[in-house]
Structure 1
Amino acid sequence: MLIIPIKEGENIDRALKRYKRKFDKTKTKRALQTGKQFTKPSVENRALIQKAQYVQRLRDQASM
């Protein structure tokens, strides 16, 4: 559970912005989304390999 202490005289919009930023940093949203549906391990491995290939291509192009 995220706790955001509100300082005296602080605007509620500012506190809400701090809450959203903290929520994004904890990656809670991503964990909830990945838990919604099951993905096969082979599909996850394929995605990791494709990402690695993409990054490698970018690095090769940058070094030219």
Structure 2
Amino acid sequence: MIIIPMKEGENIERALKKFKRKFEKTGVIKELRGRQVYVKPSVRKRKEKIHAVYVQQMQLNED
């Protein structure tokens, strides 16, 4: 459960913004979407390798 401490007189929009930020950091939505469709481990590993190669190439191009 996410708890957002509010100071007295604090704007409700600001507290809502804090809540949304904390909720997004927990990764609940990302995990939920990932569990909707089963991905075989071999396919997941292949995608991770492709992504790692892409990131490495991007870092080399920066230098």
Q: TM-score range by the shorter chain?
A: 0.7 to 0.9
Report how far residue 59 of structure 1 moved.
Answer: 2.5
Q: Which deviates more from structure 2 when the two are superposed, residues 10-19 or residues 30-39? A: 30-39
Report how far residue 23 of structure 1 moved.
Answer: 0.9
Which residue is equivalent to 2:39?
39
Q: Using structure 2 for the length normalisation, give the TM-score.
A: 0.82
Which residue is equivalent to 1:48?
48
Identical positions, percent: 48
Report how far residue 21 of structure 1 moved.
Answer: 0.8
Partner letter of residue 37 of structure 1? V
Partner letter of residue 3 of structure 1? I
Q: Using structure 1 for the length normalisation, give the TM-score.
A: 0.81
Unmatched runs of 5 consecutive residues or more in structure 1? none
Q: CA RMSD in A?
A: 1.4
Paired residues, what number?
63
Partner letter of residue 47 of structure 1? K
Unmatched runs of 5 consecutive residues or more in structure 2? none
Report how far residue 20 of structure 1 moved.
Answer: 0.5
Which residue is equivalent to 2:5?
5
